[in-house]
């Protein structure tokens, strides 16, 4: 009489299948963790790139800042203003001399969190229409920066332009000061501004947002004279 080898019993097959499922679940779990880690690192890298680009623009403006007159600092960090809290808006005065035609131009460059959406940092500018800024007026205004709610991207013609989004403007109940004047000498022409950015991605939020602090110092360029 022939003897046949026994196959797997149903219970043995179920045990093998269960172990196989557990093994697959572990593999997929590891793949998922690695993928999420990669996506998070990629998102963080993109956010840091955006922040650094914004800092380059701010650094250039601050380094080029100059006093418009003896009564006004070259850079003014504003206290609470409208819907914005202390340190959430700033003015930078700038003087440009064209050597080709020996003319001078004076600008007020503004930075602010967009009042209707404070997660956006904006930059805008306005040109002084006078040949020289008024010498007896503190914080000369030069005029309004164009506030066109239908176009926050072009920055043309002195409009406000969004240069960074995803800005976190408060931590709990405490407002974050984006700009802070930390100049030790209150009368110094050179101003040192501490810029603090806490930024997250607007599409793929990070568990821990990117935080960057940087101190930027202006150069001395003198004061316009008649």
Average pLDDT value over all residues in the chain: 87
Q: Does some domain include residue 17?
A: no
Residues contacting 134, CB < 8 A, separation 6+: 69, 140
What SS3 state is found at 62?
A: helix
Q: Does some domain include residue 22?
A: no
| Structural domain of 48 | 40-217
From 123-127, 152-156, 203-207, the region with the lowest mean pLDDT:
152-156
Q: Does some domain include residue 115?
A: yes
pLDDT over 90 (residue 109): yes
Q: Does some domain include residue 223?
A: no
pLDDT over 90 (residue 85): yes
pTM value is 0.80
User: Which residues make beta-bridge pairs with 104?
Assistant: 97
DSSP sequence for 190-218: S-EEEEEEEE--SSS--SS-EEEEEEEEP
Tens-place pLDDT, residues 137-160:
899 989 889 887 666 565 567 889
Name the phi and psi angles at 111, rounded to 5: -125, 140
Q: Does some domain include residue 191?
A: yes
Q: Does some domain include residue 151?
A: yes
Provide the pLDDT for residue 134: 85
Q: Does some domain include residue 224?
A: no
Residues contacting 179, CB < 8 A, separation 6+: 77, 87, 88, 89, 90, 111, 193, 194, 195
Provide the pLDDT for residue 156: 67
Provide the pLDDT for residue 154: 59
Q: Does some domain include residue 33?
A: no
Question: What confidence tier does 82 reach under pLDDT thresholds 50, 70, 90?
Answer: confident
Q: Please tell me the chain's helix, strand, coil percentages from 3-state DSSP, rounded to the nearest 5.
A: 25, 30, 45
Query: CA 112 to CA 92: how far, in whole Å?
Result: 12
pLDDT over 90 (residue 222): no
| Highest mean predicted confidence (pLDDT) among 117-121, 158-162, 216-220 | 117-121
What SS3 state is found at 139?
A: coil
CA distance readout (Å), 167 to 17, 51, 100, 102: 50, 9, 41, 41
Per the structure, the count of domains in the chain is 1
Provide the pLDDT for residue 12: 75
Provide the pLDDT for residue 24: 80
Tens-place pLDDT, residues 31-69:
777 666 657 788 899 999 999 999 999 999 999 999 999
Question: What confidence tier does 201 reach under pLDDT thresholds 50, 70, 90?
Answer: very high
């Amino acid at each position: 009489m022939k003897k046949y080898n026994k196959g797997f019993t149903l219970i043995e097959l179920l045990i093998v299948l269960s172990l196989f499922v557990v093994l697959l679940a572990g593999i997929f779990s590891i793949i998922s963790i690695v993928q999420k880690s990669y996506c998070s690192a990629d998102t963080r890298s993109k956010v840091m790139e955006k922040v650094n680009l914004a800092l380059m623009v701010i650094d250039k403006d601050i380094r080029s800042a100059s006093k418009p007159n003896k009564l006004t600092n070259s850079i003014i960090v504003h206290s609470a203003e409208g819907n914005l809290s202390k340190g959430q808006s700033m003015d930078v005065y700038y003087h440009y001399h064209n050597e080709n035609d020996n003319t001078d131009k004076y600008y007020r460059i503004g930075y602010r969190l967009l009042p209707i959406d404070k997660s956006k940092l904006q930059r805008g500018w306005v040109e002084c229409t006078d040949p020289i800024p008024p010498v007896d007026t503190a914080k000369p205004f030069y005029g309004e920066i164009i506030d066109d709610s239908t176009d926050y991207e072009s920055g043309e013609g002195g409009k406000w332009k969004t240069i960074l989004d995803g800005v976190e403007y408060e931590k709990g109940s405490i407002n974050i000061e984006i700009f802070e004047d930390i100049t030790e000498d209150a009368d110094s022409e050179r101003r040192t501004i501490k810029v603090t950015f806490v930024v997250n991605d607007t599409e793929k939020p990070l568990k821990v947002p990117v935080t960057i602090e940087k101190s930027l110092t202006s150069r001395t360029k003198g004061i316009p004279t008649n």
